[in-house]
Structure 1
């Protein structure tokens, strides 16, 4: 008796399910679309599975795991419950974060959806943040779950196809050697080898090319009629002056009257921090025009190597460039490899942090707490993060500073 019908399309989420049917020689019919599909799957999503006695299944992860359950091979599901939970974690990461973000980044560029520059910019930035998580994991382990290939590797690599096809050029691959090595290894597995047989890495990512506008035929010129003479020359009506819109929300606050941000940045860059820069800072700091914020990364438990954490911090700072005129910040990575965290202190124009930070698409990955310079413990924390010369007190524990970045 047939085990059912698998409905697939030319989508990355379908690559692995087709490969599983072929590799394990399952008694499953692979189809694209028919009357049964239209009747049973009104949302028209792929992959979909229709089994005996009307058994229906949709959603890629569910279909992948069900097909694997039809085999005697359990090696791809981990050695124990903990590993199986990690496999589900990475399957979910690939399906709900990695693939959709990549599609948002390249979809408008290739014309899949209308072009939206902000969408592409934001998605590309978030995709890089996701890539940092993957790179960190694969820099320490051969595969996503330990040192054995799992279904999580096969699925995640298969849905990475379009990202490598459109976005991940030679420069990106050089910056992410662990992901590139893993992708090449996993896609050579028999379940994916046929699909990826002719795949070639790109040299440069695709670029958006605006469609050419069709030239309109010039309308025939109309003969000008001589205007009747007027009794008196009329003064042309003055056009109403357009209000100048601020380029940045904080521009509405105007220039700071007491604290010169540029002078502070020069002082911090050229003078000794403890001896000269910090005394200058406290002398000129004006809490009526500026505020101080502690910024903590929310996902320290996912950080691995300290240099990767520092790269993550640097990426966040780069994406804040739109607020350069309204911010100064110092951020550090504290701790050691596989046990570290990210924290920063920012000087912000005004008394709210959102207008300055929402220029960065990943700003919500951080927690913001306002500091009060009149409190000795807050003032000391500001000085320690600005100076980098002594351990930080984090959750009651002294942690050494491993690396850091300055935003100025």
Structure 2
């Protein structure tokens, strides 16, 4: 399998897929592609992602059989090896539903609240974000802090892709929010502990090093 993506030290959506694959023992070949391929290549648009966006997982080389969207790929990877002692998608149907719940939370709550800062970081602008942007991030972190203050992992007693999805969304909060990232890590300590637990897992940490990523918040 090939993961088509744009290699970037802060590309959390692609990195979480590679991290989950490393943790679960799923072999994926990472293939860094140029932006033009996704937006102008007719085969890519027809067979991979109709909107011309990365990441895309090509199941067989040159087959055109693909899964697009970071969270869809994340789920596919976990389902491939949801056995043995790891169970990255949970041990029961109930746990699998909880994993889905937290993956949705990572995108619809954390990423959505952080979107003004993501845009600012990736568009490399210095435009002002909405005045309530930080308050929206804090509102999400308050709820997550309460959950993580009484548990190590989000689902069950082992690391799952729920933890991976949430931790990488928090990674974006820390990395894109240059002005407040360090303060947020200090204020919401249970969230930061969970983030470190995921990112310091040996296989995930090795993946992040390979991708040239720097962990933790930027200091302003």
Taking structure 2 as the reference length, the TM-score comes to: 0.76
Q: Is the 8 A contact 1:23 1:191 kept in 2?
A: yes
The structure with higher relative contact order (CA 8 Å, sep 6+) is: 2
- Spell out, residue by residue over 1:58-117, the C-alpha distance to the aligned partner (whole angstroms, 9 max, x if none): 121211111223336451122222221111111001022212321313533775356234
Please show how residues 172-191 of structure 1 align to structure 2 within 5 Å.
172-191=184-203
In structure 2, the partner of 1:43 is 51
In structure 1, the partner of 2:158 is 148
Q: Is the 8 A contact 1:15 1:192 kept in 2?
A: no
Identify if the C-alpha distance between structure 1 residues 171 and 85 changes in structure 2 by more than 3 Å, giving closer, same or farther: same
In structure 2, the partner of 1:137 is 147
Q: In structure 2, how many angstroms separate the alpha carbons of the residues matched to 1:51 and 1:110?
A: 29
In structure 2, the partner of 1:171 is 183
1:58 aligns with 2:55: no
Q: Which has the larger radius of gyration?
A: 1
Q: Is the 8 A contact 2:90 2:156 kept in 1?
A: no
Q: In structure 2, how many angstroms separate the alpha carbons of the residues matched to 1:42 and 1:155?
A: 24
Q: In structure 2, how many angstroms separate the alpha carbons of the residues matched to 1:46 and 1:68?
A: 19
Offset at 1:154?
Answer: 1.0
RMSD (CA atoms): 2.7
Offset at 1:161?
Answer: 1.7
In structure 1, the partner of 2:29 is 29
Identify if the C-alpha distance between structure 1 residues 109 and 20 changes in structure 2 by more than 3 Å, giving closer, same or farther: closer
Please identify, of 78-87 and 44-53, the stretch whose mean Cα deviation from structure 2 is larger: 44-53
Offset at 1:169?
Answer: 4.0
Please show how residues 320-331 of structure 1 align to structure 2 within 5 Å.
none
In structure 1, the partner of 2:136 is 126
Which one has the bigger helix percentage?
A: 2
Which one has the bigger strand percentage?
A: 1
Paired positions, count: 200
Please show how residues 95-244 of structure 1 align to structure 2 within 5 Å.
95-105=107-117, 107-108=119-120, 112=124, 115-117=127-129, 119=130, 121-167=131-177, 168-197=180-209, 199-202=214-217, 204=219, 206=220
Q: Is the 8 A contact 2:90 2:99 kept in 1?
A: yes
Match of 2:100 among 88, 97, 100: 88
